[in-house]
Amino acid sequence: MAIVGIDLGTTNSLVSYWSDDGPKLIPNALKSFLTPSVVGVDDQGDILIGEAAKERLITHPHLTIGDFKRTMGSEALVKLADGAHSYQFRPEELSAFVLRSLKADAEQHLGEDVTGAIISVPAYFNDIQRKATIDAGKLAGLKVDSLINEPTAAALAYGLNEVDESQFLIFDLGGGTFDVSILDKYDNVMEVRATAGDNFLGGNDFRDLLLETLGSDHKMDLEELSASDKNKLIRLAELVKKDLSAREEATYSAQISDVKLEGSFSRDRFEELTSSLRRRLRVPMERAINDATLRPENIDNVVMVGGASRMPMIRRMVGRLFQKLPLSHLNPDEIVALGAAVQTGLKTRNAALEDVVMTDVCPYTLGTSAVVDDNYDNLVIVPIIERNAVVPISESQQFFTIRDKQTQINLDIYQGENMRPEDNILLGDLKVEVPAAPAGKEGVDVRFTYDINGALEVEVKALSTEKIVRKIFKNQANLSDEELEKRFKALSGIKLHPREHAENAVLIAKAERIYAESLKAQRDYVRSLILDFEQAITDQSNRDLDKVREQFSQSLTELENSMFDMD
């Protein structure tokens, strides 16, 4: 009976737990902490997750999918199908597979059942996306004890060791999302002062720009490429991007359909290409600082989190903005998971964390629409809970009828920062009956309660009759309980690829990818390697499988190095 922390990322997911000496990451079957958030169907119709699936993006593009976190909270169905197998999944279900695999890793590592989890979500995830994440947990058979905002988690991991009081800013640029939080730490209180972000800005956008440019450099029409070739190009762009974090100039060479791509890309060009993305990073930072009623110079430290914060241009920009060197961890993509583990420790009241209290904020404004100045055209949002209010919070406001003999008051509940209702996200509506009376005589008291998990409850009370209508918001895009139950059953029927074979699966997937990427002479060689290896696996009597695997892996690495000659 253990509770784990999970960072369910766009590109990578991690699982962690609180141990007697602090937060610890849990390795997966491949002994790596990062499990790529990629899901695929293998030749047997089982579900493959992580590295092996990632390798198969190129060889089996129609059976493999990544980046699905971006669609969380929508009803987008993903079809994974080829001749033999056909599945359709919602984003929650795809996430559930990743969670299931992480859960298995944790159970293996801890030697006990894992029943609960604290999952981190981008701070700027809205209500609908949060619910989808909780549903994903349920589908994976995990009780999601609570959600934690990613930058808050990072802050927990970082701030725990900061003895002094300080105010710091967490800059979290992951694969698909960008979050900023400002924290104030004093006397073992970790107080989130403000949070802002952009749900559609991350390392992958930098990659995509590079992708487009590579495509046009080599006169390729990206739209026309086959799914497999497109994934090859994406992989190439990703490699070049990462290489440019280390070097001034990345040289690449790759074979995509009949075209041989060769060339080099300079860091300067990449930085110039992405300047607009970089500037978009400023908006959330400015907003967070303003909301925290601080000035940039009051920020003692800037902590860089998320894999994409490794890019030198990002650090330089942050350094320039704050006029100080940002802090970075050796592994910026692991911090959020560590923080989630700290949160599990807090939640279970671990003795080591007895004294630590963390308070978070609601990252967006919640309100209802109302007419002001008795002018019907002048419909505006009336905020009830202002963004960056400390949660849990409960606030109320009164509204009155606008017409004579009005018998019903309709309340639309919105989330967002804009003045006009239509520009915000509509969460739902409520209706209350009131006795007929002259305009302005009857009214309602509207109370919004927002809890620490980001769930909103609205209670409307008619002033004269004291009649109460209450609603906890559950959005249409989310699954109903019955539906959830049904899908849980369906998913339980689908097998994950056996964990103990994970290593072999990755190697074979990788070999197949190299096969797809290579040319004739090399292909024969790769094929013979694969066949030999498969033979060794089926051959039960072979006691040296480990050694064979080792050799196979080495041959592949050598092959790959000769192909993707990156320097």
Partner 1 sequence: MDVWERLGIEKTDDERAIKRAYAKKLKTIRPDEDPKHFQTLREARDEAIYLAKYDFDYDYDWDDEEEASDSSSHNEENLSPTVEPSLEEQGAENLTLERALDDAEPRIEDSYVLTLDEEDVKRDPIISQSTNSKLTELKEEDALSEVTSEGAPSNIRGTSNVKEVGTKLGESETPPNLPGFYETDIDDVTYEHIDDEVENLMGPWSLWDTAEWKKFVNRVRECSFDISNYAEYEILSALGDNLTEAKIESSFKRDARLNILYYLDEEYGWTQNDRRIYAVLPSDQSDVLMDYLRHGEIGVSHGSGETYYDAFGFPLLTAEHFKDYLGKNDSVYEKYYQKSYSDGRELRPSWCWPGFIFSPLWLAHRCNDGLEALAGMFYLMALIVLHYGLTTPSVIASILGILMIVSIHVLVGVYGRKLVVTTLANTLQDLQNDEKLSQDEKLKKLASIGRGGFKALFDFIVGMAGIGLIATLIYRLLI
- Of 437-456, binders to partner 1 (CB under 8 A) are 451-452
Report which of 114, 156, 185, 118 is spatially closest to residue 353, judged by C-alpha positions. Answer: 156
Q: What are phi and psi of 409, to 5 degrees?
A: -115, 125
Rounded to whole angstroms, the Cα distance separating 543 from 404 reads 88
Residue 269 binding partner 1, by CB under 8 A: no
| 129 burial type by CB count under 10 A (0-12 exposed, 13-18 middle, 19+ buried) | buried
Smallest gap from Cβ 406 to ligand ATP, in A, equals 46
- Of 327-366, binders to partner 1 (CB under 8 A) are 327-331, 334, 338, 355, 357, 359
Amino acid code (one letter) for 241: K
Residue 291 binding partner 1, by CB under 8 A: yes
Give the single-character DSSP code of 60. Answer: -
Mind spelling out the 3-state secondary structure of 165-207?
CEEEEEEEECCCCEEEEEEEEECCEEEEEEEEEECCCCHHHHH
Smallest gap from Cβ 294 to partner 1, in A, equals 7
> Among 80, 256, 289, 340, which residue sits at the site for partner 1 (rule: CB under 8 A)?
289
* Rg (alpha carbons) of the chain, rounded to whole number: 26
202 binds, among ligand ATP, partner 1, none (CB under 5 to 8 A by kind): ligand ATP
> Among 148, 308, 362, 506, which residue sits at the site for ligand ATP (rule: CB under 6 A)?
308
Residue 91 binding ligand ATP, by CB under 6 A: no
Measure the CA angle with vertex 326, ends 324 and 327; round to 5°. 135
Residue 116 binding partner 1, by CB under 8 A: no
174 binds, among partner 1, ligand ATP, none (CB under 5 to 8 A by kind): ligand ATP
Annotation says 113 is catalytic: no
| Closer by beta carbon to partner 1, 24 or else 499 | 24
| 536 burial type by CB count under 10 A (0-12 exposed, 13-18 middle, 19+ buried) | middle
Give how far the C-alpha of residue 253 lies from the chain's centroid of Cα atoms, to the nearest Å. Answer: 31
Residue 99 binding ligand ATP, by CB under 6 A: no
- Of 153-182, binders to partner 1 (CB under 8 A) are 157-158, 160-161
Place of tokens 């051959």: 539
Give how far the C-alpha of residue 442 lies from the chain's centroid of Cα atoms, to the nearest Å. Answer: 45
Q: Give the per-residue contact string, 384-403, with partner 1 (x = CB under 8 A; - = no).
A: --x---xxxxx---------
Q: Give the per-residue contact string, 316-345, with ligand ATP (x = CB under 6 A; - = no).
A: -----------------x------------
- Of 530-559, binders to partner 1 (CB under 8 A) are none
| Closer by beta carbon to ligand ATP, 274 or else 449 | 274
Cis peptide before 392 (omega within 30 of 0): yes
Q: Which residues contact 135 (CB under 8 A, 6 or more apart)?
A: 92, 478, 479, 484
Residue 215 binding ligand ATP, by CB under 6 A: no
Give the single-character DSSP code of 496. Answer: B
**H or E segment to which residue 239 belongs:** helix 227-246
- Of 235-254, binders to ligand ATP (CB under 6 A) are 238, 241-242, 245
Q: Which residues contact 551 (CB under 8 A, 6 or more apart)?
A: none
> Most distant CA pair in the chain: distance in Å?
91
Q: Residue 56's CB: how many other CB atoms inside 10 A?
A: 27
419 binds, among partner 1, ligand ATP, none (CB under 5 to 8 A by kind): partner 1
Q: Give the per-residue contact string, 5-44, with partner 1 (x = CB under 8 A; - = no).
A: ----------------xxxxx-------x-----------
Residue 291 binding ligand ATP, by CB under 6 A: no
Rounded to whole angstroms, the Cα distance separating 30 from 467 reads 59
- Of 175-204, binders to ligand ATP (CB under 6 A) are 175-177, 202-204
Residue 225 binding partner 1, by CB under 8 A: no
In 3-state terms, what secondary structure has residue 318?
helix
Decide if 242 contacts 265 (C-beta within 8 A). no
> Among 2, 6, 10, 185, which residue sits at the site for ligand ATP (rule: CB under 6 A)?
10
- Of 470-499, binders to partner 1 (CB under 8 A) are none
Annotation says 150 is catalytic: yes
Decide if 316 contacts 302 (C-beta within 8 A). no
Residue 319 binding partner 1, by CB under 8 A: yes
Place of tokens 């860089």: 304
69 binds, among ligand ATP, partner 1, none (CB under 5 to 8 A by kind): ligand ATP
| Closer by beta carbon to partner 1, 85 or else 269 | 269
Rounded to whole angstroms, the Cα distance separating 259 from 261 reads 6
| Closer by beta carbon to ligand ATP, 109 or else 310 | 310
Smallest gap from Cβ 174 to ligand ATP, in A, equals 2
Residue 70 binding ligand ATP, by CB under 6 A: no
Smallest gap from Cβ 312 to ligand ATP, in A, equals 9
452 binds, among ligand ATP, partner 1, none (CB under 5 to 8 A by kind): partner 1
Taking phi first (over 0 means left), then psi (-120 to 50 degrees means alpha), and beta for anything else, what does residue 274 get? Answer: alpha
Q: Which among 208-216, 301-309, 351-359, 441-449 is the span making contact with ligand ATP, rule CB under 6 A?
A: 301-309
| Closer by beta carbon to partner 1, 361 or else 411 | 361
- Virtual CA dihedral for 144, 149, 153, 159, nearest 10 degrees? -140
Just list the catalytic residues: 7, 69, 150, 172
